[in-house]
């Protein structure tokens, strides 16, 4: 499909004898919000780690914006327009909130201090952390640290944003804000979302891909997936 911003062909990863991801063919059209779900240990994080380049695949290929990026290191993929937010919050805890986001913006904007400052204000404004700009990032509450992660993603202006369990540990009110943010964001960027919270998936995702035992079990709209018996069996552990 020519409109796919990201695709994989037979992407596989083995750890010793364990085949964590097996021959996954995956296509993500530009502009879509795609949710990636599956039971614990289904290979979701392993799969996206290969997309961004944190893990080297055992076999298969990753194509981003029409170019094979399988051999590129993570930083080069980010330079091409991918961004990744960590499942376990990974910020620069001893630096200020402002510097955290500035680091994300600076790779793209370089020495243009005014442009970096404007981008920092915009990204922090979008996630509602503007007033906390001067704080040390490690002093923020957990929910605010998650938002800072997302602001760092935004400041990179990615073409594809990969969010690894972004709502984990957030309060209900924070999740509502998060959904608004992602919907606004999807105007300009493609989003791949690993998510456990099915109400978030139903509210946000255009389509859902289900991984189980490292393989694609099903793919479809949230309603189709909800009705899919195989998916239910995988989650409930029967069948």
Q: Output the CA torsion sign for 175, 180, 183, 187.
A: negative
Q: What is the nearest approach in angstroms of another protein to the Cβ of residue 172?
A: 28
Q: Given the complex with another protein, which of 2 and 75 has the nearer CB atom?
A: 75
- The span from the CA of 114 to the CA of 108, in Å, is 13
How many other CB atoms sit within 10 Å of the CB of residue 220? Answer: 15
Q: What is the nearest approach in angstroms of another protein to the Cβ of residue 51?
A: 12
Q: What is the nearest approach in angstroms of another protein to the Cβ of residue 192?
A: 15
Q: Output the CA torsion sign for 188, 39, 26, 83.
A: positive
Tell me, rounded to whole angstroms, the distance of Cα 148 from its chain centroid: 14
Q: Given the complex with another protein, which of 110 and 131 has the nearer CB atom?
A: 110
Contacts with another protein by CB under 8 A lie at 52, 54, 73-76, 78-79, 83-84, 86, 90-95, 99, 102-104, 106-108, 110-111, 152, 156
Q: Given the complex with another protein, which of 105 and 200 has the nearer CB atom?
A: 105
Q: Given the complex with another protein, which of 24 and 83 has the nearer CB atom?
A: 83
β-pairing verdict for 67-68 and 59-64: antiparallel
β-pairing verdict for 67-68 and 207-212: unpaired
Q: What is the nearest approach in angstroms of another protein to the Cβ of residue 236?
A: 35
């Amino acid at each position: 499909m020519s409109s796919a911003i990201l695709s994989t062909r037979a992407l596989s990863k083995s750890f010793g004898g364990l085949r964590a991801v097996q021959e996954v063919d995956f296509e993500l059209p530009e502009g879509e919000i795609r949710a990636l779900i599956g039971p614990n240990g289904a290979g979701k994080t392993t799969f996206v780690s290969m997309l961004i380049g944190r893990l080297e695949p055992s076999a298969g290929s990753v194509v981003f914006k029409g170019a094979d990026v399988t051999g590129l290191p993570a930083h080069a993929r980010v330079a091409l327009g991918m961004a990744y937010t960590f499942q376990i919050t990974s910020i620069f805890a001893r630096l200020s909130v402002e510097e955290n986001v500035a680091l994300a913006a600076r790779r793209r904007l370089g020495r243009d201090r005014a442009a970096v400052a404007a981008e920092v204000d915009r990204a922090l404004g979008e996630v509602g952390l503007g007033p906390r700009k001067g704080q040390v990032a490690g002093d923020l509450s957990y929910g605010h640290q998650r938002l800072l992660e997302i602001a760092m993603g935004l400041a990179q202006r990615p073409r594809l944003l990969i969010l690894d369990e972004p709502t984990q540990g957030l309060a209900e009110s924070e999740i509502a804000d998060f959904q608004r943010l992602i919907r606004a964001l999807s105007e300009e960027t493609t989003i791949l979302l690993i998510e456990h919270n099915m109400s978030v998936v139903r509210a946000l995702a255009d389509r859902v891909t289900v991984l189980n035992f490292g393989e694609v079990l099903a793919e479809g709209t949230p309603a189709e997936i909800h009705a899919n018996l195989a998916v239910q069996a995988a989650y409930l552990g029967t069948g």
